Amino acid sequence: MTTRGKIVIAAFLAAVLYFGINKLIASGLLFKKAATESILLNSIELPAPAAGARTTLAVPLAPLPGAEPAETGTAVVWEVMAWNSQMAGMLANGGPRSTQGSSMAANGLDLQIVRQDDVAKMQADLVKNALDLQNNPATPGLIVSIMGDGLPGFSAVQEQLRKAGTGLQIIPYSCGKSFGEDKLMGPKEWLDNPKAALGHTIACYLRDGDQNIALKWCADNGLKVNPDETTYDPEAVNFMAASDFLVAAEKYILGKPESRVKVVKGQNTGVKVDVLADAVATWTPGDVNIAKQKGGLVNIVSTRDYSNQMPNIMVTTKRWYDAHPKEIEGLITALAVAGDQVKAHPEALQRAADISAQVYGDADKPGAYWLRYYKGVSEADRRGEVVELGGSKAFNFSDNLTLFGLNPGGTNIYAAVYKTFGDVQSRLYPKELPSYVPLTDMLDLTPLRQLQEKYRGKTLAPAEAPQFAADDEIRQSVSRRAWNIEFNTGQSSFTPAAQRQLRQLFDDLVVAGRLKVAIHGHTDNHGAPQLNEQLSEDRALAVQHWLEGHGASAFPAGRVQVYAHGAAEPVASNATDAGRAQNRRVEVVLGN
């Protein structure tokens, strides 16, 4: 064969081989196509579902971040407590410092995560950072994460920041929330009889999130509270101050008494009594320490019940926030991408837990520990009593639109939380918190709205929402409270004075977003029994309709049930005007 013939045959074989291999590859027989495609770490948008795909939206698994620091981007420090609500932030960063391949690095941030359990130190660090930024605008910014319901008390630092020429600013995005791990733990009899808590003492860090759980439970059950942690009131629920949430648990575990002056009806008796911590308001690992080291307490109420109470709220200074709009958008995007991953993929959650262990730095608590209590478990305590421990949730972008009420017909859940607990703390502790900063002075939702508009019509992972069945009765009551909602005489219409009570009821029920609501209508005995029963039903329905009309998203179908009792269940004598006024009431029961 001539040389020319060999060249022709070789060219022919090469062409056959080239097109044949391409066809084989295209067929998928040689290399199988990945079941999921990677997604960009700097985008919230997910791949659009293929035509005919199932309605269930699957979030593709993104490449996990590397371990080496990226060492690029704008330097920022993020101070966090040891709290599982930050799982999305951990994954987003890839490590204690932003790593190569992390969503923080992809969005132009070099974030250093530092553990800080001391709230007072966080406040001091914000003031120092404000002054450092004033002297040198290139100073790395500082962001701190706190319990959302504790922000009114935290806002007391505003005066110091004003002296530094700036103020507090909320990052308009939450990376997650407590969902069970923050709780009031107490004797088992408190579950069935909340009044058994009177004359007993709860150890906690005062004027912050965990005490708020106890205060709300007391208010919802009509229990008197003694706000003075230096005295003892046998007719009220008392508190024992702790320097942080772990020390609160230790107060119960060690059982060391405190000497207090006994007060009765606000009067100092001069009598000294020894007071022990009978209960604790704490969070993981405080609840785990109680169960493992002593036991004897069960969950009375937690953020699984008050499910909207404790979002992880990130705050910084206006000085840094106003100078870094690009970084704010990048931070939100990075957390949103990681939130989808943590919620959808066990391997992403596991990686986040391992990073948490690195950040928190407890030698006896590896990633598996934080993973276990992020999910929440039921375990037997040292005395054999089964208790629920841990429990948190990661948020994605859609969860944040729900939290801040940016969807059509939405309720600004966080605004309700902030006002509810700001009012409680200010009323109980007027000296320490005579007032608190209005939320509108600190919260600017513009960046979140801009991203919402940017991704409008795109494929986004959905938000989580509680589901309620209309025919499900409340089996386990958390609280029962009578509300003095004024109606016009003989009618189901409200008086102008009723609006304040309705607004407070609305906020309280928004905080307890996972609990069912039973509204019980009652009348006095004036009038025919049949008419009274109808009136009590109409009034309970009026409350239901008011709540749903002011926040449909917070009161979805099936959450609220109405019961009519007429004059059948008086709480006072109908022989006096005062007694009849007490009997004309609406009682609200919360439960599961």
Answer whether residue 7 shows pLDDT above 50. no
The per-residue pLDDT for 471 is: 83
Answer whether residue 485 shows pLDDT above 90. yes
Q: Residue 209: which pLDDT band, with cuts at 50, 70 and 90?
A: confident
Residue range 38-61, pLDDT digits in tens = 556 788 998 876 655 445 568 999
Residue range 505-517, pLDDT digits in tens = 999 999 999 999 9
Asked whether residue 218 falls in the same domain as residue 102, the answer is no
Indicate whether 290 belongs to any domain: yes
Asked whether residue 206 falls in the same domain as residue 314, the answer is no
- Dist CA 282 CA 204 (whole Å): 6
Asked whether residue 397 falls in the same domain as residue 432, the answer is yes
Residue where one domain finishes, among candidates 411, 439, 454: 454
Mean pLDDT of the chain: 92
CB atoms within 10 A of CB 100: 16
Residue where one domain finishes, among candidates 419, 454, 489: 454
Asked whether residue 190 falls in the same domain as residue 170, the answer is no
Distances (CA, A) of 212 to 182, 243, 288, 293, 346: 10, 16, 20, 25, 32
Asked whether residue 312 falls in the same domain as residue 172, the answer is yes
The per-residue pLDDT for 25 is: 37
Indicate whether 55 belongs to any domain: no
Residue range 79-105, pLDDT digits in tens = 999 999 999 999 999 999 999 999 999
- Tell me which of 64-73, 277-286, 288-297, 469-478 is least confident: 469-478
Asked whether residue 348 falls in the same domain as residue 442, the answer is yes
The per-residue pLDDT for 379 is: 95
Indicate whether 2 belongs to any domain: no
% of the chain at pLDDT higher than 90: 87
Answer whether residue 490 shows pLDDT above 80. yes
Indicate whether 352 belongs to any domain: yes
The per-residue pLDDT for 293 is: 98
**Once rounded to an integer, what is the mean pLDDT over residues 156-160?**
96
- Dist CA 516 CA 531 (whole Å): 28
Indicate whether 57 belongs to any domain: no
Indicate whether 8 belongs to any domain: no
Residue range 327-375, pLDDT digits in tens = 999 999 999 999 999 999 999 999 999 999 999 999 999 999 999 999 9
The per-residue pLDDT for 362 is: 97
SS3 state at 114? strand
Answer whether residue 491 shows pLDDT above 80. yes
Q: Residue 8: which pLDDT band, with cuts at 50, 70 and 90?
A: very low
Answer whether residue 410 shows pLDDT above 60. yes
Asked whether residue 280 falls in the same domain as residue 364, the answer is no
**Once rounded to an integer, what is the mean pLDDT over residues 519-542?**
96
Answer whether residue 544 shows pLDDT above 70. yes
Query: 3-state SS string over 129-153?
Result: HHHHHHHCCCCCEEEEEEEHHHHHH
Indicate whether 22 belongs to any domain: no
Q: Residue 35: which pLDDT band, with cuts at 50, 70 and 90?
A: very low
Query: 3-state SS string over 306-359?
Result: CCCCCEEEEEEEHHHHHHCHHHHHHHHHHHHHHHHHHHHCHHHHHHHHHHHHHH
Indicate whether 30 belongs to any domain: no
The residues with which 204 forms a beta bridge, in sequence order, are 241
Residue range 274-307, pLDDT digits in tens = 999 999 999 999 999 999 999 999 999 999 999 9
Asked whether residue 330 falls in the same domain as residue 428, the answer is yes
- The range of the structural domain enclosing residue 252 comes to 183-300
Residue 90: closest CA among 404, 398, 394: 394
**Once rounded to an integer, what is the mean pLDDT over residues 559-565?**
97
% of the chain at pLDDT higher than 70: 92
Asked whether residue 483 falls in the same domain as residue 448, the answer is no
Residue where one domain finishes, among candidates 283, 300, 317: 300
Whose tokens are 């990075």? That residue is 334
Give the CATH number, domain containing residue 319. Answer: 3.40.190.10
